[in-house]
């Protein structure tokens, strides 16, 4: 063993800003996932998908920052916020943003606002938990191979996290030794899906279970993967939970991203096919690398998406 689990975790944590710099920290997490994927696109499929998912969480966190400073935003007060959401906003765009965001915020009473703030804070914590749970294993695999993960794994991580990396490593060995490339790709993809199962079952579900009934609707409407320019021609740019199951079903709670069965069906039917189209086009569609390079560089602009997320609140009136 090259180093302990604690040291690997400290290494992956050391590249992030403190937890109180919420939006900036999310950008750094997204950047780290994008970096893992760009480092080895053939193996780290989960990290690539996680970069897009973390970016979408960043939309909710940007909205959280907006809700926590409504007086400053709606009054037009300008204040230095180095590395934050509002750095470098022009007057014209800022005024438009205030108009778009102000109306749905005004529709919430104090109790509803505080409840939603609490739910979004849980989402923030969940984003940090995922990074803490899985990023170290990617760093350990890069630094010491499968043996480094096996030496540092815990009992409840064996079913999905360890088995996932074993499948990835088996596929990597086939690729390295000139074996069956189709079988290798299938092993790698199966292994990454196991990492996704670990994330969804062991890390995210306890977070989702704590979300309020009202927040469950907001989170369901906000659950999407936006691949944007990364999607090749003819492929879906978005994988939205509400679009997939229907707005009425989502609004009434008949379908909820909080429920693991609903969430996994959406992932299998909608998210994974869209993501696979992006991933498989890495070498043939320039938009894929362009989008990942932007995420790695922290160049994503969350304001427009945050305004669209704010419109979700109109369903709660």
> Stretch 49-61: mean pLDDT, rounded?
90
90-143 tens-digit pLDDT? 444 444 444 444 444 545 556 666 777 888 889 989 999 999 999 999 999 999
Cβ distance 126 to 207 under 8 Å?
Answer: yes
* pLDDT over threshold 90, residue 60: no
Nearest CA among 308, 307, 300 for reference residue 31: 300
Amino acid 63: pLDDT: 72
Indicate the pLDDT class of residue 317, thresholds 50, 70 and 90: low
Q: Which residue has the higher pLDDT, 71 or 55?
A: 55
Q: Which residue has the higher pLDDT, 179 or 306?
A: 179
Domain locations along the chain: 5-316
Q: Which 3-state string (H, E, C) describes the chain?
A: CCCCHHHHHHHHHHCCCCCCCHHHHHHHHHHHHHHHHHHCCCCCHHHHHHHHHHHHHHHHHHHHHHHHCHHHHHHCCCCCCCCCCCCCCCHHHHHHHHHHHHHHHHCCCHHHHHHHHHHHHHHHHHHHHHHHHHHHHHHHHHHHCHHHHHCCCCHHHHHHHHHHHHHHHHHHHHHHCCCCHHHHHHHHHHHHHHHHHHHHHHHHHHHHHCCCHHHHHHHHHHCEEECHHHCCCCCCCEEEHHHHHCHHHHHCCCCCCCCHHHHHHHHHHHHHHHHHHHHHCCCCCHHHHHHHHHHHCCCCCCHHHHHHHHHHHHHHC
Amino acid 120: pLDDT: 84
Task: List the single range of 14-23, 132-141, 295-304 with lowest mean pLDDT.
Answer: 295-304
> Stretch 221-249: mean pLDDT, rounded?
94
Tokens of 48: 């690539």
> Stretch 69-95: mean pLDDT, rounded?
46
Tokens of 205: 């579900």
Q: What is the rounded distance in angstroms from the CA atom of residue 184 to the CA atom of residue 170?
A: 7
Q: What is the rounded distance in angstroms from the CA atom of residue 271 to the CA atom of residue 198?
A: 16
Indicate the pLDDT class of residue 307, thresholds 50, 70 and 90: low
Q: What is the rounded distance in angstroms from the CA atom of residue 60 to the CA atom of residue 308?
A: 10
Cβ distance 116 to 215 under 8 Å?
Answer: yes
- How much of the chain, in percent, has pLDDT values that exceed 90? 68
Indicate the pLDDT class of residue 222, thresholds 50, 70 and 90: confident
149-168 tens-digit pLDDT? 999 999 999 999 999 999 99
Task: Flag whether the pTM goes above 0.75.
Answer: yes
Indicate the pLDDT class of residue 43, thresholds 50, 70 and 90: very high
């Amino acid at each position: 063993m090259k180093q302990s689990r604690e040291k690997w975790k400290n290494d992956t944590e050391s590249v992030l800003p403190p937890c109180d710099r919420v939006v900036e920290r999310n950008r750094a997490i997204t950047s780290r996932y994008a970096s893992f994927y760009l480092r080895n696109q053939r193996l780290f499929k989960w990290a690539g998908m996680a970069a897009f998912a973390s970016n979408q969480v960043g939309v909710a966190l940007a909205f959280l920052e907006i809700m926590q400073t409504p007086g400053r935003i709606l009054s037009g007060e300008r204040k230095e916020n180095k590395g934050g959401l509002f750095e470098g906003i022009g007057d014209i765009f800022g005024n438009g943003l205030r108009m778009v965001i102000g109306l749905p915020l005004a529709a919430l009473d104090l109790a509803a606002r505080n409840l939603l703030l609490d739910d979004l804070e849980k989402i923030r914590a969940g984003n940090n938990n995922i990074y803490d749970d899985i990023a170290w294993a990617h760093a350990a695999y890069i630094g010491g191979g499968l043996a480094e993960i096996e030496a540092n794994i815990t009992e409840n991580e064996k079913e999905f996290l360890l088995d996932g990396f074993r499948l990835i490593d088996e596929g990597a060995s086939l690729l390295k030794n000139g074996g069956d490339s189709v079988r290798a790709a299938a092993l790698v993809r199966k292994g990454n899906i196991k990492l996704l199962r670990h994330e969804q079952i062991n890390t995210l579900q306890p977070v989702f279970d704590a979300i309020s009934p009202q927040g469950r609707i907001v989170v369901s409407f906000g659950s999407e993967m936006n691949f944007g320019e990364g999607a090749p021609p003819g492929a879906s740019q978005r994988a939205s939970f509400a679009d997939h199951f229907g707005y009425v079903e989502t609004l009434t709670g008949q379908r909820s991203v909080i429920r693991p069965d609903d969430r996994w069906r959406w992932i299998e039917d909608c998210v994974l096919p869209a993501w696979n189209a992006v991933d498989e086009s890495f070498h043939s569609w320039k938009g894929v690398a362009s989008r990942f390079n932007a995420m790695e560089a922290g160049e994503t602009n969350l304001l427009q998406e945050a305004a669209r997320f704010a419109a979700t609140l109109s369903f709660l009136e």
